[in-house]
Homo-oligomer: A and B are copies of this chain.
Amino acid sequence: MWTSRLSRVSRPLIRSIATNSCRNKAIAKLPGIELALGGKLSEVQVTYEQWGDQTLPDERTIMIFPSFSHSSHVASNLDDPRPGWWENVVGPGKAIDTSVFRVICASVLGSPYGSTSPLTINPDTGKHYRASFPQITPADMATVHRNLLDHLGINKVHAIVGGSMGGMQAVQFASLFPDRLTRLVALSCTAQTTPGTVAFRRVQRLAILSDPEYKDGNYEFGVGLAGMKVARELGMTCYRSREEFDTRFDWQPSGPTHFKELTFDVESYMDYQASKFARIFDPNCYLLLSKAMDLTDLGRGYQNLAEGVGRIKAETLVIGVKQDLLVPLTEQKTIVDILESYDTPATLSVIDSKYGHDAMFHPQMQSIVFAPLVSEFLERNLDTLEHEQQRYSSL
Protein backbone atom coordinates (compact mmCIF):
# COMPACT_ATOMS: atom_id res chain seq x y z
CA MET A 1 0.00 0.00 0.00
CA TRP A 2 2.71 2.46 0.97
CA THR A 3 4.86 1.42 -1.99
CA SER A 4 2.25 2.35 -4.52
CA ARG A 5 1.69 5.70 -2.84
CA LEU A 6 5.41 6.41 -2.79
CA SER A 7 5.73 5.67 -6.45
CA ARG A 8 3.53 8.70 -7.13
CA VAL A 9 6.18 10.99 -5.69
CA SER A 10 8.76 12.22 -8.14
CA ARG A 11 12.16 10.65 -7.61
CA PRO A 12 14.57 13.58 -7.46
CA LEU A 13 13.28 14.71 -4.08
CA ILE A 14 13.52 11.31 -2.44
CA ARG A 15 16.74 10.82 -0.55
CA SER A 16 17.37 8.17 2.04
CA ILE A 17 17.97 9.16 5.64
CA ALA A 18 21.35 7.45 5.43
CA THR A 19 22.65 10.07 3.01
CA ASN A 20 21.72 12.81 5.45
CA SER A 21 24.76 13.76 7.50
CA CYS A 22 22.91 16.31 9.69
CA ARG A 23 22.14 15.56 13.30
CA ASN A 24 18.65 14.38 14.14
CA LYS A 25 18.56 16.11 17.50
CA ALA A 26 19.72 19.62 18.32
CA ILE A 27 19.20 22.59 20.60
CA ALA A 28 18.38 26.04 19.21
CA LYS A 29 18.87 29.32 21.05
CA LEU A 30 15.95 31.49 19.99
CA PRO A 31 15.00 35.14 20.62
CA GLY A 32 13.15 36.00 23.82
CA ILE A 33 9.39 36.54 23.53
CA GLU A 34 6.68 38.78 24.93
CA LEU A 35 4.02 36.50 26.44
CA ALA A 36 0.36 36.54 25.40
CA LEU A 37 -0.88 37.21 28.95
CA GLY A 38 1.88 39.70 29.81
CA GLY A 39 5.47 39.34 30.96
CA LYS A 40 8.28 37.99 28.86
CA LEU A 41 10.97 35.37 28.57
CA SER A 42 14.27 37.04 27.77
CA GLU A 43 15.91 33.82 26.58
CA VAL A 44 14.30 30.83 24.93
CA GLN A 45 15.81 27.58 23.81
CA VAL A 46 14.21 24.53 22.28
CA THR A 47 15.30 20.97 21.86
CA TYR A 48 14.12 19.67 18.51
CA GLU A 49 14.43 16.60 16.36
CA GLN A 50 14.32 16.02 12.63
CA TRP A 51 13.61 13.13 10.28
CA GLY A 52 14.05 12.80 6.53
CA ASP A 53 16.16 14.88 4.22
CA GLN A 54 17.01 18.22 5.84
CA THR A 55 17.76 19.77 2.42
CA LEU A 56 14.17 19.39 1.26
CA PRO A 57 12.45 22.70 0.47
CA ASP A 58 9.80 24.41 2.64
CA GLU A 59 6.96 22.87 0.69
CA ARG A 60 8.21 19.43 1.63
CA THR A 61 8.55 20.27 5.34
CA ILE A 62 6.10 19.18 8.05
CA MET A 63 6.24 20.38 11.62
CA ILE A 64 4.64 18.28 14.37
CA PHE A 65 3.65 19.79 17.73
CA PRO A 66 3.78 17.49 20.78
CA SER A 67 0.95 16.92 23.22
CA PHE A 68 1.04 17.54 26.99
CA SER A 69 3.12 14.56 28.00
CA HIS A 70 5.20 14.15 24.84
CA SER A 71 8.74 15.24 24.02
CA SER A 72 10.20 16.03 20.58
CA HIS A 73 10.81 12.31 20.13
CA VAL A 74 8.02 11.54 17.70
CA ALA A 75 9.83 8.59 16.18
CA SER A 76 13.13 6.75 16.37
CA ASN A 77 16.10 8.24 14.52
CA LEU A 78 19.88 7.84 14.32
CA ASP A 79 20.49 10.07 17.34
CA ASP A 80 17.87 8.28 19.43
CA PRO A 81 16.84 4.81 18.26
CA ARG A 82 14.14 4.40 20.95
CA PRO A 83 10.60 4.21 19.55
CA GLY A 84 8.83 7.59 19.61
CA TRP A 85 5.29 8.51 20.61
CA TRP A 86 4.06 8.38 17.00
CA GLU A 87 6.37 5.62 15.82
CA ASN A 88 3.60 4.08 13.72
CA VAL A 89 2.76 7.39 12.03
CA VAL A 90 6.15 8.97 11.29
CA GLY A 91 8.91 7.21 9.34
CA PRO A 92 9.95 6.09 5.87
CA GLY A 93 6.88 4.75 4.07
CA LYS A 94 4.59 5.67 6.97
CA ALA A 95 1.69 8.16 7.01
CA ILE A 96 3.97 11.12 7.60
CA ASP A 97 6.50 9.75 5.20
CA THR A 98 10.06 10.73 5.98
CA SER A 99 11.08 9.53 2.50
CA VAL A 100 8.89 12.29 1.11
CA PHE A 101 8.95 14.97 3.79
CA ARG A 102 11.40 16.66 6.07
CA VAL A 103 9.79 16.38 9.52
CA ILE A 104 10.59 18.60 12.50
CA CYS A 105 9.33 18.41 16.06
CA ALA A 106 10.36 20.67 18.94
CA SER A 107 9.70 20.03 22.61
CA VAL A 108 7.06 22.48 23.73
CA LEU A 109 7.89 25.65 25.63
CA GLY A 110 7.20 24.83 29.29
CA SER A 111 7.58 21.08 28.94
CA PRO A 112 10.21 19.14 30.90
CA TYR A 113 11.90 17.83 27.73
CA GLY A 114 14.75 20.23 27.08
CA SER A 115 13.01 23.44 26.04
CA THR A 116 12.73 26.53 28.28
CA SER A 117 10.51 25.61 31.23
CA PRO A 118 10.22 25.84 35.02
CA LEU A 119 13.26 23.53 35.06
CA THR A 120 15.40 26.20 33.34
CA ILE A 121 17.72 28.61 35.18
CA ASN A 122 16.11 32.06 35.17
CA PRO A 123 18.85 34.32 33.70
CA ASP A 124 17.65 37.21 35.90
CA THR A 125 18.10 35.31 39.19
CA GLY A 126 20.53 32.51 38.42
CA LYS A 127 18.08 30.07 39.99
CA HIS A 128 15.57 27.61 38.52
CA TYR A 129 12.32 29.28 37.54
CA ARG A 130 10.20 26.61 39.29
CA ALA A 131 6.75 28.05 40.17
CA SER A 132 7.85 31.58 39.30
CA PHE A 133 7.77 30.69 35.61
CA PRO A 134 5.30 33.09 33.97
CA GLN A 135 2.03 31.58 32.79
CA ILE A 136 2.13 30.70 29.12
CA THR A 137 -0.61 29.73 26.66
CA PRO A 138 -0.61 27.76 23.39
CA ALA A 139 -0.14 31.14 21.66
CA ASP A 140 3.31 31.45 23.28
CA MET A 141 4.16 27.89 22.33
CA ALA A 142 3.17 28.71 18.73
CA THR A 143 5.36 31.82 18.75
CA VAL A 144 8.36 29.75 19.79
CA HIS A 145 7.65 27.20 17.04
CA ARG A 146 7.53 30.11 14.55
CA ASN A 147 10.86 31.37 15.88
CA LEU A 148 12.36 27.92 15.37
CA LEU A 149 11.22 28.01 11.73
CA ASP A 150 12.90 31.41 11.37
CA HIS A 151 16.05 30.00 12.98
CA LEU A 152 16.03 27.11 10.48
CA GLY A 153 15.42 29.46 7.55
CA ILE A 154 12.06 27.93 6.77
CA ASN A 155 9.36 30.30 5.60
CA LYS A 156 6.20 28.36 4.80
CA VAL A 157 5.87 24.67 5.70
CA HIS A 158 3.73 22.20 3.83
CA ALA A 159 1.87 21.30 7.01
CA ILE A 160 1.56 21.67 10.75
CA VAL A 161 0.28 18.58 12.56
CA GLY A 162 -0.68 18.24 16.22
CA GLY A 163 -3.00 16.30 18.53
CA SER A 164 -4.50 17.23 21.91
CA MET A 165 -2.29 20.04 23.29
CA GLY A 166 -0.36 19.70 20.01
CA GLY A 167 -3.61 20.44 18.20
CA MET A 168 -4.24 23.50 20.35
CA GLN A 169 -0.80 24.81 19.38
CA ALA A 170 -1.46 23.89 15.74
CA VAL A 171 -4.73 25.84 15.40
CA GLN A 172 -3.20 28.70 17.37
CA PHE A 173 -0.13 28.73 15.09
CA ALA A 174 -2.32 28.71 11.99
CA SER A 175 -4.34 31.63 13.36
CA LEU A 176 -1.35 33.74 14.48
CA PHE A 177 0.89 32.97 11.48
CA PRO A 178 -1.49 32.12 8.62
CA ASP A 179 1.19 32.66 5.96
CA ARG A 180 3.60 30.14 7.43
CA LEU A 181 1.74 26.94 6.47
CA THR A 182 -0.25 25.43 3.59
CA ARG A 183 -2.08 22.63 5.41
CA LEU A 184 -3.18 22.06 8.98
CA VAL A 185 -3.98 18.79 10.74
CA ALA A 186 -5.50 19.23 14.21
CA LEU A 187 -6.58 16.17 16.19
CA SER A 188 -8.80 15.97 19.31
CA CYS A 189 -8.25 19.60 20.20
CA THR A 190 -10.12 22.81 20.86
CA ALA A 191 -9.94 26.46 19.83
CA GLN A 192 -11.34 27.50 23.22
CA THR A 193 -11.34 25.41 26.38
CA THR A 194 -14.75 25.02 28.04
CA PRO A 195 -15.57 24.95 31.78
CA GLY A 196 -16.33 21.21 31.68
CA THR A 197 -12.72 20.57 30.72
CA VAL A 198 -11.30 23.16 33.13
CA ALA A 199 -13.09 21.22 35.89
CA PHE A 200 -11.12 18.03 35.13
CA ARG A 201 -7.78 19.83 34.92
CA ARG A 202 -8.43 22.06 37.91
CA VAL A 203 -8.72 19.08 40.26
CA GLN A 204 -5.45 17.68 38.93
CA ARG A 205 -3.72 20.96 39.73
CA LEU A 206 -5.32 21.07 43.18
CA ALA A 207 -4.00 17.58 43.93
CA ILE A 208 -0.44 18.77 43.25
CA LEU A 209 -0.71 22.22 44.81
CA SER A 210 -2.21 20.85 48.04
CA ASP A 211 0.47 18.18 48.49
CA PRO A 212 2.66 19.51 51.35
CA GLU A 213 5.69 18.06 49.57
CA TYR A 214 5.02 20.43 46.65
CA LYS A 215 6.36 23.21 48.93
CA ASP A 216 5.08 26.06 46.77
CA GLY A 217 7.09 24.70 43.85
CA ASN A 218 10.32 24.13 45.74
CA TYR A 219 9.98 20.35 46.05
CA GLU A 220 12.96 18.10 45.85
CA PHE A 221 13.63 17.30 42.17
CA GLY A 222 13.12 13.70 41.09
CA VAL A 223 11.02 12.67 44.08
CA GLY A 224 7.62 11.56 42.79
CA LEU A 225 4.97 13.61 44.61
CA ALA A 226 1.88 11.80 45.87
CA GLY A 227 -0.18 14.68 44.47
CA MET A 228 1.29 14.08 41.01
CA LYS A 229 0.12 10.48 41.19
CA VAL A 230 -3.41 11.58 42.10
CA ALA A 231 -3.34 14.11 39.25
CA ARG A 232 -2.23 11.53 36.72
CA GLU A 233 -4.81 8.96 37.85
CA LEU A 234 -7.48 11.59 37.49
CA GLY A 235 -6.20 12.33 34.01
CA MET A 236 -6.44 8.64 33.18
CA THR A 237 -10.16 8.62 33.93
CA CYS A 238 -10.83 11.05 31.07
CA TYR A 239 -8.13 10.16 28.54
CA ARG A 240 -9.83 6.95 27.47
CA SER A 241 -13.43 5.86 28.03
CA ARG A 242 -15.68 3.87 30.28
CA GLU A 243 -16.16 1.44 27.40
CA GLU A 244 -12.45 0.69 27.37
CA PHE A 245 -12.19 0.26 31.14
CA ASP A 246 -15.35 -1.88 31.31
CA THR A 247 -14.18 -4.23 28.56
CA ARG A 248 -10.52 -4.35 29.60
CA PHE A 249 -10.64 -5.00 33.33
CA ASP A 250 -12.13 -7.76 35.45
CA TRP A 251 -15.34 -6.74 37.23
CA GLN A 252 -14.66 -8.98 40.23
CA PRO A 253 -12.28 -8.10 43.08
CA SER A 254 -8.84 -9.60 42.63
CA GLY A 255 -7.31 -8.25 45.86
CA PRO A 256 -8.22 -7.55 49.49
CA THR A 257 -11.48 -5.62 49.82
CA HIS A 258 -10.77 -3.07 52.55
CA PHE A 259 -10.86 0.56 51.52
CA LYS A 260 -7.15 0.98 52.24
CA GLU A 261 -6.28 -1.71 49.69
CA LEU A 262 -6.17 -2.16 45.92
CA THR A 263 -9.17 -4.39 45.26
CA PHE A 264 -9.86 -4.32 41.54
CA ASP A 265 -7.54 -4.82 38.55
CA VAL A 266 -8.36 -1.33 37.33
CA GLU A 267 -7.00 0.05 40.61
CA SER A 268 -3.70 -1.80 40.28
CA TYR A 269 -3.39 -0.66 36.67
CA MET A 270 -3.94 2.99 37.54
CA ASP A 271 -1.65 2.75 40.54
CA TYR A 272 1.18 1.31 38.46
CA GLN A 273 0.86 3.65 35.49
CA ALA A 274 0.50 6.81 37.56
CA SER A 275 3.38 5.92 39.89
CA LYS A 276 5.65 5.59 36.89
CA PHE A 277 4.52 8.93 35.44
CA ALA A 278 4.80 10.77 38.77
CA ARG A 279 8.47 9.87 39.03
CA ILE A 280 9.41 11.24 35.61
CA PHE A 281 7.25 14.31 34.94
CA ASP A 282 8.10 17.58 36.65
CA PRO A 283 5.20 18.93 38.80
CA ASN A 284 5.71 22.63 37.96
CA CYS A 285 5.75 21.77 34.25
CA TYR A 286 2.58 19.74 34.76
CA LEU A 287 0.84 22.68 36.44
CA LEU A 288 2.06 25.20 33.86
CA LEU A 289 1.00 23.18 30.81
CA SER A 290 -2.29 22.14 32.42
CA LYS A 291 -3.24 25.79 32.95
CA ALA A 292 -1.92 26.72 29.51
CA MET A 293 -4.41 24.29 27.96
CA ASP A 294 -7.24 25.76 30.04
CA LEU A 295 -6.25 29.18 28.69
CA THR A 296 -6.53 28.08 25.04
CA ASP A 297 -8.62 30.73 23.31
CA LEU A 298 -8.10 31.66 19.67
CA GLY A 299 -10.49 34.57 20.22
CA ARG A 300 -8.11 36.26 22.70
CA GLY A 301 -7.15 39.64 21.27
CA TYR A 302 -9.96 39.51 18.70
CA GLN A 303 -13.65 40.40 18.75
CA ASN A 304 -14.62 36.79 19.31
CA LEU A 305 -13.62 33.18 18.74
CA ALA A 306 -14.81 33.20 15.11
CA GLU A 307 -12.54 36.12 14.25
CA GLY A 308 -9.52 34.33 15.71
CA VAL A 309 -10.27 30.98 14.07
CA GLY A 310 -11.26 32.74 10.84
CA ARG A 311 -7.68 34.00 10.44
CA ILE A 312 -6.61 30.47 9.52
CA LYS A 313 -5.93 30.25 5.77
CA ALA A 314 -4.51 26.72 5.61
CA GLU A 315 -6.50 23.88 4.14
CA THR A 316 -7.56 22.11 7.33
CA LEU A 317 -8.24 18.56 8.46
CA VAL A 318 -9.71 18.25 11.94
CA ILE A 319 -10.07 14.80 13.47
CA GLY A 320 -12.20 14.12 16.55
CA VAL A 321 -13.25 11.06 18.51
CA LYS A 322 -16.90 10.49 19.46
CA GLN A 323 -15.98 9.08 22.86
CA ASP A 324 -13.60 11.94 23.80
CA LEU A 325 -14.47 12.86 27.41
CA LEU A 326 -11.83 15.58 27.78
CA VAL A 327 -12.19 17.63 24.59
CA PRO A 328 -15.55 16.66 23.17
CA LEU A 329 -16.28 16.36 19.46
CA THR A 330 -18.44 19.50 19.53
CA GLU A 331 -15.26 21.54 20.01
CA GLN A 332 -13.60 20.10 16.90
CA LYS A 333 -16.84 20.68 15.00
CA THR A 334 -16.83 24.33 16.09
CA ILE A 335 -13.42 24.85 14.43
CA VAL A 336 -14.63 23.38 11.15
CA ASP A 337 -17.95 25.25 11.28
CA ILE A 338 -16.14 28.57 11.69
CA LEU A 339 -13.66 27.81 8.90
CA GLU A 340 -16.51 26.85 6.58
CA SER A 341 -18.24 30.14 7.37
CA TYR A 342 -15.05 31.85 6.16
CA ASP A 343 -14.95 29.63 3.03
CA THR A 344 -11.67 28.10 4.20
CA PRO A 345 -11.44 24.48 3.04
CA ALA A 346 -11.90 22.36 6.17
CA THR A 347 -12.92 18.78 6.83
CA LEU A 348 -14.02 17.10 10.05
CA SER A 349 -13.27 13.38 10.31
CA VAL A 350 -15.07 11.65 13.14
CA ILE A 351 -13.56 8.52 14.66
CA ASP A 352 -15.40 5.95 16.74
CA SER A 353 -12.97 4.60 19.32
CA LYS A 354 -13.19 3.35 22.86
CA TYR A 355 -9.72 4.85 23.35
CA GLY A 356 -11.40 8.27 23.52
CA HIS A 357 -9.15 11.32 23.75
CA ASP A 358 -6.10 9.05 23.71
CA ALA A 359 -7.08 7.23 20.51
CA MET A 360 -4.61 9.07 18.25
CA PHE A 361 -1.71 7.88 20.42
CA HIS A 362 -2.85 4.28 20.82
CA PRO A 363 -0.42 2.08 18.83
CA GLN A 364 -3.17 0.25 16.97
CA MET A 365 -5.25 3.35 16.21
CA GLN A 366 -2.11 5.22 15.06
CA SER A 367 -1.48 2.93 12.13
CA ILE A 368 -4.95 1.68 11.28
CA VAL A 369 -7.12 4.76 11.71
CA PHE A 370 -5.19 8.01 12.03
CA ALA A 371 -2.29 7.29 9.70
CA PRO A 372 -4.41 6.74 6.54
CA LEU A 373 -6.49 9.88 7.17
CA VAL A 374 -3.45 12.05 7.81
CA SER A 375 -1.43 10.60 4.96
CA GLU A 376 -4.22 11.02 2.43
CA PHE A 377 -4.63 14.67 3.44
CA LEU A 378 -0.90 15.47 3.46
CA GLU A 379 -0.16 13.87 0.10
CA ARG A 380 -3.34 14.92 -1.74
CA ASN A 381 -2.34 16.75 -4.96
CA LEU A 382 1.28 16.49 -4.00
CA ASP A 383 2.14 15.45 -7.56
CA THR A 384 0.53 18.63 -8.83
CA LEU A 385 2.43 20.74 -6.32
CA GLU A 386 5.58 18.91 -7.23
CA HIS A 387 4.96 19.53 -10.89
CA GLU A 388 4.33 23.24 -10.27
CA GLN A 389 7.48 23.48 -8.25
CA GLN A 390 9.60 21.79 -10.90
CA ARG A 391 8.09 24.03 -13.56
CA TYR A 392 9.01 27.15 -11.56
CA SER A 393 12.55 25.96 -10.88
CA SER A 394 13.11 25.24 -14.60
CA LEU A 395 11.97 28.72 -15.67
Residues in A lying within 8 Å of B, measured CB to CB:
37, 131, 134-135, 192-200, 202-203, 205-207, 209-212, 217, 226-227, 229-230, 233-234, 236-237, 241-243, 245-246, 248-253, 257-260, 263-267, 270-271, 287-288, 290-291, 294-295, 297, 328
B233 A37 Cβ-Cβ under 8 A = no
**A203 — which chain B residues lie within 8 A by C-beta?**
230, 233-234, 237, 270
Contact: B291 with A259, CB < 8 Å? Answer: yes
Tell me whether B192 and A251 are in contact (CB under 8 A). Answer: yes
Query: Which B residues lie within 8 Å of A211 (CB)?
Result: 226
- B210 to A259, Cβ gap below 8 A? no
* Bound CA span A290–B267, Å: 13
* A270–B196 CA distance with the chains assembled, in angstroms: 12
Q: Are B195 and A257 in contact (CB under 8 A)?
A: no
Q: Is the CB of B233 within 8 A of A195?
A: no
CA distance A197 to B249 in the complex (A): 12
A135-B258, A259-B290 known; A242 and B202 CB under 8 Å? no
Considering the chains assembled together, what is the distance between the CA atoms of A217 and B229 in angstroms?
A: 20
- Chain B residue nearest to A193 (CB atoms) is B251
CB nearest neighbor in B for A242: B196
Which residues of chain B are within 8 angstroms of A297 by Cβ–Cβ distance?
252
Contact A264 B195 (CB under 8 A): yes
Tell me if B295 and A263 are in contact (CB < 8 A): yes
Q: How far is the CB of A241 from chain B (nearest CB, A)?
A: 8
* Given A210-B230, A295-B253, also A267-B202 (CB < 8 A): yes
Complex contacts, A37 vs chain B, CB 8 Å: 257
The 10 closest A-B pairs by CB, nearest first: A196-B242, A259-B291, A210-B226, A195-B249, A195-B266, A196-B245, A259-B287, A203-B233, A195-B245, A135-B258
**B206 pairs with A233, CB closer than 8 A:** yes
For this complex, 12 residue pairs linking A to B, each with C-beta atoms less than 8 Å apart, are A135-B259, A194-B246, A194-B251, A195-B249, A197-B242, A199-B245, A202-B233, A202-B264, A210-B226, A257-B295, A259-B288, A263-B291
Q: Which of B193, B195, B197, B234 contacts A265 (CB 8 A)?
A: B195
> Which residues on B sit within 8 Å (CB–CB) of A234?
203, 234
| Contact present for B207 and A207 (CB under 8 Å) | yes
Contacts of A250 in B (CB 8 A): 195
In the complex, what's the smallest C-beta–C-beta distance from A301 to chain B, in angstroms? 13
* CA of A258 to CA of B295, assembled, Å: 10
A210 to B195, CA, bound (A): 27
Across-interface contacts of A212 in B (CB, < 8 A): 212
Chain B residues with CB below 8 A from A295, complex form: 253, 257, 263
Q: Which of B195, B200, B287 makes the CB contact (< 8 A) with A246? A: B195
* Interfacial chain B residues near A294, Cβ < 8 Å: 263-264
Contact call B202/A270, Cβ cutoff below 8 A = yes
Residues of B contacting A287 in the complex (Cβ-Cβ under 8 angstroms): 259-260
Contact across chains for A195 and B251 when beta carbons are under 8 A apart: yes
Contacts of A328 in B (CB 8 A): 242
Name the residue on B nearest A237 (C-beta): B199
The verdict on A248 contacting B207 (CB below 8 Å), with A202-B266, A263-B294, A291-B257 known, is no
